[in-house]
Structure 1
Amino acid sequence: MNQTPMTIRGAQKLREELDYLKSVRRPEIIEAIADAREHGDLKENAEYHAAREQQGFCEGRIQEIEAKLSNAQIIDITKLVNNGKVIFGATVTLLKSDDEKEITYRIVGDDESNIKANLISVNSPIARALIGKEEEDEVVVKTPGGDVDYEIIKVEYL
């Protein structure tokens, strides 16, 4: 079975969502189904059908999260010795060669990625170009708009 890398933060967020779904959302939906049943004929009961549909989504998400957590290889980057290499979980500060702009990214698992929060997937083109490189290395990232050159300024294990 393939393990999926995940940061401690990513695993924690999934566990929090799982706990919420099991302890809050699931009971709410069960109550909504019970309330809707009291309204009589289930064939034409929109509330009942909506609640059953929500139950399906909720149970599906619970199974999905449990599967992700069971296949997760949780990596605590703060416990690793920083040898200056870009690895999964590292926070990397880059200098874009063409406009001299600095940008900082953290390399995370697919579920955690959020470009607006500068969290990039380990499977993204930029992360794949960075993995294994070191501070002061030049990196060329192939993008749909053409090649983009970066210099790695800093690699942190936060």
Structure 2
Amino acid sequence: MEKIPMTVGGQKALAAEYEHRTATERRRIVEAISEARAHGDLSENAEYHAAKEQQSLNEGRIKELETILALADVIDVSKLSGSTVKFGATVTYVDEDTGEEKTYQIVGDPEADASAGRISISSPIARGMIGKSVGDSFEVAAPGGARSYEILNLKYV
């Protein structure tokens, strides 16, 4: 299996989710199953079936988190520097057509959340930025045609 690049913050967040799911959610779901069982006939017990489904989803996510955390290649972004874009960089860029500016940090796939300002290193925008410097332009293929962007700022926090 291939290592999964991840920031220290991303690893901590996933570890916290794992801890919550194994310590709190598991116990809550088992209690819900026990309570639903007490209601009698399981074949027509919607509460029981809903709790069993929750249990299945929770256990699936726990297994997924175990795999991600086992394969994590944790990179401390605060120790990175440089003048080119690479994993962990926080990049401000402008759309050359619309003038719209955006700022994102390039992170690993499991911790990506565009609404929180984090994009995956495997996303088309991040792949287009990798290796570029401030002032460089890059193109990204989009459904409506290629888009051009210019890197305005680059930092490692």
Matches within 5 A, 1:120-139: 120-139=119-138
User: In the alignment, is residue 152 of structure 1 matched against residue 145 of structure 2?
Assistant: no
Q: Distance in 2 between matches of 1:39 and 1:100?
A: 61
Q: Report the TM-score, using the length of structure 1 for normalisation.
A: 0.91
Read off the aligned partner of 1:70 and give its amino acid letter.
A
Task: Write out aligned runs for 1:85-100 (5 A).
Answer: 85-100=84-99
- 1:58 deviates by 0.8
Contiguous gaps of at least 5 residues in structure 2: none
CA distance in structure 2 between the aligned counterparts of 1:55 and 1:156, rounded to whole angstroms: 42
Q: Give CA-to-partner distance per residue, 1:94-147, whole Å, 9 cap, x none.
A: 122223332211111222222222321111111001011112212122222222
Question: Aligned AA for 1:27?
Answer: R
- The CA deviation string for residues 78-105 of structure 1, in whole angstroms up to 9 with x for no partner, is 112x111101111001122223332211
SS of the residue corresponding to residue 143 of structure 1 reads coil
The equivalent residue for 1:111 is 110
Structure 1 counterpart of 2:95, which letter?
K
| Aligned mates of 2:69, 2:151 — CA distance in 1 | 32
What letter corresponds to residue 50 of structure 1 in structure 2?
A: A
Secondary structure, in 3 states, of the residue corresponding to 1:95?
Answer: strand
Letter in 2 for 1:51: A
Residue correspondence of structure 1 range 10-29 to structure 2 within 5 A = 10-29=10-29
Distance 2:156 2:148 in 1: 23
In 1, the alpha carbon distance for the partners of 2:98 and 2:33 equals: 57
Structure 2 counterpart of 1:136, which letter? G
- Counterparts of 1:90 and 1:97 in 2: how far apart (Å)? 21
Secondary structure of 1:98 counterpart? coil
Q: Distance in 1 between matches of 2:35 and 2:84?
A: 57
What is the TM-score of this pair, normalised by structure 2?
0.92
Structure 1: 5+ residue stretches without partners: none
1:40 Cα deviation from its structure 2 partner: 2.2
CA distance in 2, matches of 1:125, 1:41: 52
Following the alignment from structure 2 to structure 1, what is the Cα–Cα distance between the partners of residues 145 and 43? Answer: 56
Shift of the alpha carbon at 1:47?
1.7
The answer as to 2:33 corresponding to 1:39 is no
Q: Which deviates the most, 125-134 or 6-15?
A: 6-15
